[in-house]
């Protein structure tokens, strides 16, 4: 009993009683922790290095691109702007006098000739007045001729002769007046052209100022546009102009017929007018068009397709295709295998070259500085390229058929 009491009262810690000091247990746990953490870190470093080596040694797939060579070519400069088309002759038709519409003699979009009667107003009263005036004029003419004959035979006086002649002249003038009034009951085409939709109906009372329809001569159109004052010296009367609905499609031709001698002090623009040949009627008055004033052709200008140029915050640049850097020689063991295989095409890569650009026209851009003659520029596929990317040239997918075909032929 005394022995148990003494054992319970023993203050010595359990580790000491087991024979292992506490400091040693702490050191063992710390070593194990370091080994585990070090192993994890080492494994991660080994894995990252292996992945890096794998991607560094993995061959990069060549990007397919289309190219075009830099060569001097004729350049057709021009002044490009926008304009509005209007008919060379165009009016809103209306009647001269009031009346009730008796007959409409045209249909919408009908081609009419000059002096064709388009609208006939009710002219019953005027027809009756004209008939009465013609009868009176005929009678006055007979009396005048009779008085003239009597006076020549000496049995009539000059006073009677002069009086009858005056009456005959008055009657003839009255006939002409009534005929003019009768003609005002007809609306005639002032020129040849295409007439629009009728805005009146038969039986409708119409007054001067009410529009009947619009008449436009669309075979010859005119376009009004403006250019900056700095380019005023490049224009002259008769200069050729191209027109179209898109920048790359200008099928209509014309020439300058007027240049405003005054520069607008607010916008610093000069108004210009040109005539357009529109035989098929594809242009309509009021339509928006793109305008290109053709300037004299220049020779030997370095210009490339506009698709070769890429713009960024740092400037404009192009990708030039050049031979890639030579790889290290293969081991001797693989030399025999390589000799048996056909000779591969030379590897190509792209270099990013910043350039200075000039004028733009007809889908091409002038390169002032940055490239040299003979350089092969990428004109399609730039969105997947960076400096040094290996490429494979395939000009059958060129976005500019002319440039691509020319490059492919070479």
Q: Residue 351 maps to which CATH number?
A: 2.40.420.20
134 pLDDT higher than 50: yes
H helices, E strands: number in the chain = 7, 22
Q: Tell me the longest C-alpha to C-alpha distance in the chain.
A: 197
Task: Assess whether 143 and 233 both reside in one domain.
Answer: no
Give the model's pLDDT for residue 391.
Answer: 87
Task: Give the count of beta carbons closer than 10 Å to the beta carbon of residue 379.
Answer: 25
Distance between CA 171 and CA 175 in Å, rounded? Answer: 6
Average the pLDDT over 40-50 and give the result: 84
Q: Which of 142, 159, 184 marks a domain boundary?
A: 184
What are phi and psi for residue 133, nearest 5 degrees?
A: -65, -35
Residue 226 resides in a domain: yes
Residue 387 resides in a domain: yes
For 164-207, write each residue's pLDDT tens digit.
888 889 889 999 999 998 899 999 999 988 899 999 999 999 99
17 pLDDT higher than 80: no
Lowest-pLDDT choice from 183-187, 262-266, 268-272, 338-342: 338-342
Confidence tier at 56 by pLDDT (50, 70, 90)? low
Give the model's pLDDT for residue 205.
Answer: 93
221 pLDDT higher than 80: yes
Task: Give the count of beta carbons closer than 10 Å to the beta carbon of residue 107.
Answer: 10
Task: Assess whether 309 and 286 both reside in one domain.
Answer: no
Give the model's pLDDT for residue 103.
Answer: 92
Residue 116 resides in a domain: no
Give the model's pLDDT for residue 407.
Answer: 40
Distance between CA 95 and CA 212 in Å, rounded? Answer: 8
What's the chain's average pLDDT?
A: 82
Q: Which domain holds residue 157?
A: 123-184
The answer to whether 379 and 400 are in contact (CB under 8 A) is: yes
Give the model's pLDDT for residue 400.
Answer: 58
354 pLDDT higher than 70: yes
The answer to whether 310 and 324 are in contact (CB under 8 A) is: no
Half-sphere exposure of 223 (CA within 13 A, CB side): 32
Average the pLDDT over 308-317 and give the result: 88
Domain count, the chain: 4
Residue 190 resides in a domain: no
146 pLDDT higher than 80: yes
82 pLDDT higher than 60: yes
Among candidate residues 250, 249, 274, 246, the one with its CA nearest the CA of residue 260: 274
Structure tokens given for 378: 């990428």
Average the pLDDT over 294-306 and give the result: 86
242 pLDDT higher than 80: yes
Task: Assess whether 318 and 242 both reside in one domain.
Answer: no
Most confident of 76-80, 165-169, 270-274: 270-274
Give the model's pLDDT for residue 394.
Answer: 84
Task: Assess whether 241 and 254 both reside in one domain.
Answer: yes
Task: Assess whether 370 and 290 both reside in one domain.
Answer: no
Residue 100 resides in a domain: no
341 pLDDT higher than 90: no
Confidence tier at 213 by pLDDT (50, 70, 90)? very high
Task: Assess whether 322 and 365 both reside in one domain.
Answer: yes
Average the pLDDT over 316-321 and give the result: 91
Task: Assess whether 158 and 243 both reside in one domain.
Answer: no
Average the pLDDT over 205-216 and give the result: 91
Structure tokens given for 22: 């506490």
Among candidate residues 371, 82, 365, the one with its CA nearest the CA of residue 242: 82
Tell me the percentage of the chain whose pLDDT exceeds 90: 24
> Which residues contact residue 10 at a Cβ distance below 8 angstroms, ignoring those fewer than 6 apart?
none
Residue 316 resides in a domain: yes
The reply to whether the predicted model has a pTM over 0.85 is: no
Confidence tier at 256 by pLDDT (50, 70, 90)? very high
Residue 43 resides in a domain: yes
For 95-120, write each residue's pLDDT tens digit.
999 999 999 999 998 989 999 999 99
CATH code of the domain in which 171 resides: 1.10.287
Distance between CA 255 and CA 65 in Å, rounded? Answer: 41
Confidence tier at 339 by pLDDT (50, 70, 90)? very low
398 pLDDT higher than 80: no
Structure tokens given for 270: 């000069």
Sign of the Cα pseudo-torsion (12, 17, 19, 25, in order)? negative
Sheet strands side by side (includes 99-104): 186-188, 117-121, 99-104, 205-206
Task: Assess whether 370 and 305 both reside in one domain.
Answer: yes
């Amino acid at each position: 009993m005394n022995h148990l009491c003494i054992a319970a009262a023993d203050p010595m810690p359990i580790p000491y009683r087991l024979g292992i000091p506490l400091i040693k247990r702490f050191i063992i746990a710390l070593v194990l922790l370091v080994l585990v953490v070090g192993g994890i870190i080492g494994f991660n470093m080994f894995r990252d290095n292996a992945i890096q080596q794998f991607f560094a040694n993995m061959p990069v797939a060549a990007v397919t691109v289309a190219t075009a060579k830099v060569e001097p070519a004729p350049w057709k400069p021009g002044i490009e702007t926008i304009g509005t088309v209007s008919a060379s002759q165009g009016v809103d038709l209306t009647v001269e006098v009031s009346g009730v519409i008796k007959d409409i003699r045209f249909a919408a979009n009908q081609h009419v000739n000059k002096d064709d009667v388009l609208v006939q107003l009710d002219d019953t009263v005027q027809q009756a007045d004209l008939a009465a005036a013609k009868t009176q004029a005929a009678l006055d003419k007979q009396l005048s001729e009779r008085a003239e004959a009597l006076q020549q035979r000496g049995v009539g006086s000059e006073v009677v002769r002069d009086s009858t002649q005056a009456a005959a002249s008055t009657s003839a003038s009255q006939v002409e007046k009534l005929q003019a009034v009768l003609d005002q009951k007809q609306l005639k085409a002032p020129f040849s052209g295409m007439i629009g939709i009728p805005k009146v109906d038969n039986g409708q009372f119409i007054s001067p100022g009410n529009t009947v329809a619009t008449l436009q001569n669309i075979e010859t159109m005119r376009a009004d546009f403006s250019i900056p004052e700095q380019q005023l010296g490049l224009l002259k009367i008769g200069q050729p102009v191209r027109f179209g609905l898109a920048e790359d499609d200008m099928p209509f031709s014309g020439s300058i017929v007027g240049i405003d001698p005054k520069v607008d002090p607010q916008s610093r623009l000069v108004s210009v007018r040109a005539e357009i040949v529109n035989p098929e009627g594809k242009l309509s008055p009021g339509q928006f068009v793109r305008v290109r004033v053709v300037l004299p052709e220049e020779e030997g200008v370095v210009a490339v397709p506009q698709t070769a140029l890429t713009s960024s915050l740092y400037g404009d640049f192009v990708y030039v295709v050049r031979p890639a850097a030579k790889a290290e020689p293969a081991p001797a063991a693989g030399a025999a295998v390589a000799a048996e295989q056909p000779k591969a095409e030379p590897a190509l890569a792209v270099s990013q070259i910043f350039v200075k650009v000039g004028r733009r026209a007809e889908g091409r851009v002038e390169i002032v500085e940055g490239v040299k003659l003979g350089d092969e520029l990428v004109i399609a596929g730039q969105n997947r390229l960076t400096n040094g990317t290996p490429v494979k040239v395939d000009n059958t997918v060129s976005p500019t058929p002319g440039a691509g075909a020319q490059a492919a032929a070479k």
